[in-house]
Amino acid sequence: MADAKKQPVTATKVTNNNQGQFVFGRENYILLIVSFAIIVLGYIMMAGGGSEDPNVFSEELFSTTRITVAPLVIIAGFALGVFAILKKPKA
């Protein structure tokens, strides 16, 4: 073992052929922007419904839009966002 000659360590040049390329494709970014807009729309739909006077109860608070539709829109926006991230970009 002692007779074995040590080989000199040489540095290898690592080339990066992916310089200037984005992680996602154009379609992925568009889908992410659309999903963000859908999520914001869902939160806007959920807002409001309060009463001007805190001593007066407002039935607007429990409308179908705020209780059912808006959360479904938000979930759809998040689902589209996950799809946009997992979608394989076209080469």
User: Which amino acid is located at 85 in the chain?
Assistant: I
Q: What is the pLDDT of residue 3?
A: 62
- Domain containing residue 54: 26-86
User: What digits encode the pLDDT tens for the residues 24-79?
Assistant: 899 999 999 999 999 999 999 999 877 788 888 888 888 889 999 999 999 999 99
Q: What is the pLDDT of residue 41?
A: 97
- Counting other chains too, the contacts that 40-44 makes at CB distance below 8 Å and 24 or more residues apart are 41/73, 41/77, 42/70, 42/71, 42/72, 42/73, 42/74, 42/76, 42/77, 43/70, 43/74
Residue 61 falls inside a structural domain: yes
> Which of the two residues, 7 and 48, has the higher pLDDT score?
48
pTM of the model: 0.72
Write the CA distances from 59 to 27, 45, 49, 51, 66, integer angstroms: 42, 16, 8, 9, 11
Our count of domains for the chain comes to 1
Check if the beta carbon of residue 63 is closer than 8 Å to that of residue 49.
yes
Residue 43 falls inside a structural domain: yes
